[in-house]
Amino acid sequence: MKTKLIEDYLDELFINPKCELNYNTDYELLINIMLSSQTTDKKVNAVTKILYNKYNSLDKLSKADYKDIEDIIKPLGMQKTKSKNIVNISKMLIDDYNGKVPDKKEELIKLPGIGNKSAQVFLGEYYKIPAFGVDTHVFRTSKRLGLANEKDNVLDVETKLKKLFKKDVWYKRHLQFVLFGRYYCTSINPKCKTCKLGKICKYYNK
């Protein structure tokens, strides 16, 4: 009953949820997902527009100067690590995967800066493979709605969400939870008074 209530409300808010990262190629999406850690999609879109205009191929990115990329992506924070990840991801894609981003999580997590969550987001978005990435928004809202326990870690939350929702809508629900957490169930000053899930929300009922 709780799950149905949540699904109905998420469908009401975001009937056709979309990834808010801009991209044109598989490698752009993968790099953008990596860059989005600890920052916003809006900031990522702003810097990658500059980045991909200057380095408009995987080959050019693989040969880029770290410092130059650092200067471009500085607004995102963690620029030293992220610049190295960009160059090294590009090199590995060319050297080990013929320039194509792999469609297996086991291969994706071999790439610098790509962990379980990033791999799942990529697989769901680009290859349309059922996946349920748990980012900070999914993590927070799942616990507030009682779908996971406060002490659960990211993998615990992922496992529980995959059991609660049908496999063919995993990625759709992932996107909806992300958008719900980003615009409604925010970490600070969530829009509780207008939310239809108040009666099942642990945060609201405190």
**pLDDT of res. 203:** 87
CA pair distance 111, 115, nearest whole angstrom: 8
Mean pLDDT within 18-25: 98
Q: Do domains 2-17+131-205 and 26-126 have the same CATH topology?
A: no
Nearest to 28 by CA among 105, 110, 94, 90: 90
**pLDDT of res. 15:** 97
pLDDT at 139 over 80: yes
The residues that are catalytic are: 117, 135
Is 26-126 assigned to CATH 1.10.340.30?
yes
pLDDT at 1 over 90: no
Mean pLDDT within 192-204: 92
Domain positions in the chain: 2-17+131-205, 26-126
46: Cα separation from own chain's centroid: 17
CA pair distance 169, 159, nearest whole angstrom: 15
pLDDT for 148-165, tens place per residue? Answer: 999 999 999 999 999 999
**pLDDT of res. 204:** 85
Give percent helix, percent strand, percent coil of the chain, each to the nearest 5.
65, 0, 35
**pLDDT of res. 96:** 98
**pLDDT of res. 202:** 87
Instruction: State which fold the 2-17+131-205 domain adopts.
Output: Endonuclease Iii, domain 2 (1.10.1670)
Mean pLDDT within 107-118: 98
Both structure tokens of 1: 């009953």
Mean pLDDT within 60-82: 97
